[in-house]
């Protein structure tokens, strides 16, 4: 089979350089299967694929590449066998520099808009724990296959930070208002099986390769469908959520910076980081 592992940054060097001070393409790889036209984006930032500034920049470049090259599909998964993504990099949020946190949250918004609103068909193979921002990443895709025995959800309530509108909108659009409220207000993490029960994921499988097959099956379902019509329909279906968040994006960012910088939230973040350190 003809596989081409693309160093994203060959084609998107300009974009990535202007986005990121990180070394080029260190946190993920994008592999295109030229026979199917489906690309796999494998997150590879040990130990837990936390979403640092550089990670978000590379994710943005990958999604942009998928759109520009008109991939038939994009599968997002993790190289780690235990963690899909631990969400936002807590080190970016703890004792932040005021300009950096502003730009970090803007970058997160940009990536989310790009992925959520892209016309490329997307699927997530969640082959490990998927927490908060990690869950957002999976929910922004169209289809989710999860490997059993892991946890997924948005734990902000337990971290002591508010769930932001973007995260709420995504959760609501997948599991509905009531289930989203019940989960988000207590920071519930679902097991793979519970996630299937509530509709947070579409399938549960025994391992990553089975998950990739299921995701490919979902994406192959569009072979006979006009890519243009499909892409436009997806955008129309998602436009209400996007419009609202675009309209309020600057207001949301500024409010969040204020909240994150507050003493109470900084104390909670510090305690959360301490708990993680001490769990060993």
Ligand X SMILES: CC/C=C\C/C=C\CCC/C=C/CC(=O)SCCNC(=O)CCNC(=O)[C@H](O)C(C)(C)COP(=O)(O)OP(=O)(O)OC[C@H]1O[C@@H](n2cnc3c(N)ncnc32)[C@H](O)[C@@H]1OP(=O)(O)O
Binding footprint of ligand X on the chain (CB under 6 A):
47-48, 50, 82-83, 86-91, 105, 108-109, 129, 131-133, 155-156, 159, 161, 164, 166, 252-253, 256, 260, 276-277
- Residue 35 CB, nearest distance to ligand X (Å)? 34
CB 242 to ligand X: min, Å: 14
- Which one of 8, 32, 41, 88 is the catalytic residue? 88
Find the residue with minimal CB distance to ligand X. 87
Angle subtended at Cα 68 by Cα 165 and Cα 14, rounded to the nearest 5 degrees:
85
Considering the complex, state which of residue 9 and residue 19 has its C-beta at the smaller distance from ligand X. 19
CA–CA separation, 27 and 12 (whole Å): 15
Report the residue number, 8 or 136, with the smaller CB distance to ligand X.
136
- Pick the closer one to ligand X by CB: 105 or 175: 105
φ, ψ (nearest 5 deg) of residue 87: 90, -160
Rounded CA gap, 202 and 138, in Å?
11
Q: Which is nearer to ligand X, 48 or 62 (CB)?
A: 48
Q: Is 247 helix (H, G, I), strand (E, B) or coil?
A: helix
Q: Is 160 left (phi over 0), alpha (psi -120 to 50) or beta?
A: left
Alpha carbon separation from 96 to 39, 91, 92, 101, 258 (Å, rounded): 35, 8, 6, 6, 11
Least separation in angstroms between residue 88's CB and ligand X is 4
- Minimum distance between the CB of residue 277 and ligand X, rounded to whole angstroms? 5
Q: Choose the catalytic residue: 133, 134, 153, 231.
A: 133
Q: How many CA atoms lie within 13 A of 260 on its CB side?
A: 25
Reduced to 3 states (helix: H, G, I; strand: E, B; else coil), residue 35 is coil
Q: Does residue 133 carry a catalytic annotation?
A: yes
Q: Is 187 an annotated catalytic residue?
A: no
> Which residues are tagged catalytic?
88, 133, 155-156
């Amino acid at each position: 089979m003809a596989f081409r592992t693309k160093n994203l940054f060959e084609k998107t060097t300009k974009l990535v350089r202007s986005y990121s001070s990180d070394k080029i393409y260190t946190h993920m790889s994008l592999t295109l299967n030229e026979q199917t036209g489906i690309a796999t984006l494998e997150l590879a930032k040990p130990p837990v694929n936390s979403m640092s500034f550089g990670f978000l920049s590379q994710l943005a470049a990958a999604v942009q590449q998928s759109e520009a090259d008109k991939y038939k599909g994009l599968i997002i998964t993790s190289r780690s066998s235990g963690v899909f993504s631990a969400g936002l990099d807590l080190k970016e949020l703890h004792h932040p520099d005021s300009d950096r946190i502003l730009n970090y949250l803007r970058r997160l918004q940009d990536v989310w808009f790009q992925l959520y609103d892209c016309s490329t068909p997307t699927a997530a193979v969640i082959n490990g724990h998927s927490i908060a921002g990690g869950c957002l990443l999976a929910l922004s895709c169209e289809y989710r296959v999860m490997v059993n025995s892991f946890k997924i959800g948005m734990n902000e309530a337990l971290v002591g930070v508010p769930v932001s509108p973007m995260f709420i909108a995504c959760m609501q659009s997948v599991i509905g208002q009531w289930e989203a409220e019940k989960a988000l207000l207590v920071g519930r993490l679902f097991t793979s099986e519970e996630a299937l029960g509530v509709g947070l994921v579409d399938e549960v499988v025994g391992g990553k390769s089975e998950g990739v097959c299921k995701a490919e099956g979902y994406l192959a379902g569009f072979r006979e469908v006009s890519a243009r019509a499909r892409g436009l329909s997806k955008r129309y279906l998602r436009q209400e959520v996007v419009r609202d968040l675009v309209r309020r994006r600057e207001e949301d960012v500024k409010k969040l910076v204020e909240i994150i910088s507050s003493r109470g939230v900084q104390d909670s973040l510090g305690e959360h980081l301490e708990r993680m350190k001490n769990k060993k």
